[in-house]
Chains A and B, each alone.
Chain A
């Protein structure tokens, strides 16, 4: 069964303290790995799509990477406004659905 596991469940950082979030997936024939940001009570906001192992994408203080079994979301010098839940989702080739992890709740203290 397709599965996505995110760790840690929660992460507290000081402003400027860089770290990484992990997303492990077991999906046969991965066609895409997606990262979203979700603020409380809101819908997920799209961040990145990664398609193949070795691919990297960056946006401001965020960088997403992909291997054959994992994806990482690296946060460099975070600010309090980066506080949110970060969701990872995998899509299997030929499938219409996204399989989501439970998310990592990130809190950045000033």
Chain B
């Protein structure tokens, strides 16, 4: 059974640029959630996708957007990067929306200069 994978592992961008992060969900899982984790903090919920539709969103501005594909993989896009966007971005997959345990990938470390 393949776990959650994310790419790239690390990324450096400059303020104002755009970035796309990718996630492949665990085999058999149809729900993907994205979290942002700043240094020394717990993960903060960005949004969740279920069957290619956004299924809930946290307190993040519209420049954070996402997609889910028919194979349940997902992308997180961030436009107009700000210094405060520097963080570990985590993707988690689960077997169903709402109630199932979420399993996390290794994360993408984003540094905005």
Binding site for B on A (CB under 8 A): 4, 31-32, 34, 36, 41-46, 49, 87, 89, 91, 94-103
Contacts and interface: CB of A to CB of B under 8 A. Distances in A.
Interface in B57-91: 58, 88, 90
Contact of B101 (A4, A34, A42, A99): A34
B48 A96 contact: yes
Interface in B16-43: 33, 35, 40-43
Contact of A97 (B6, B56, B104): B56
Contact of B55 (A42, A45, A87, A96): A96
Leading 9 A-B pairs by shortest Cβ distance? A100-B42, A96-B56, A97-B45, A43-B104, A96-B48, A44-B104, A43-B106, A43-B107, A102-B42
B98 A49 contact: no
Contacts of B107: 41-43
A49 B43 CA distance: 17
A25 to B, nearest CB: 12
Nearest to A51: B99
A99 B97 CA distance: 15
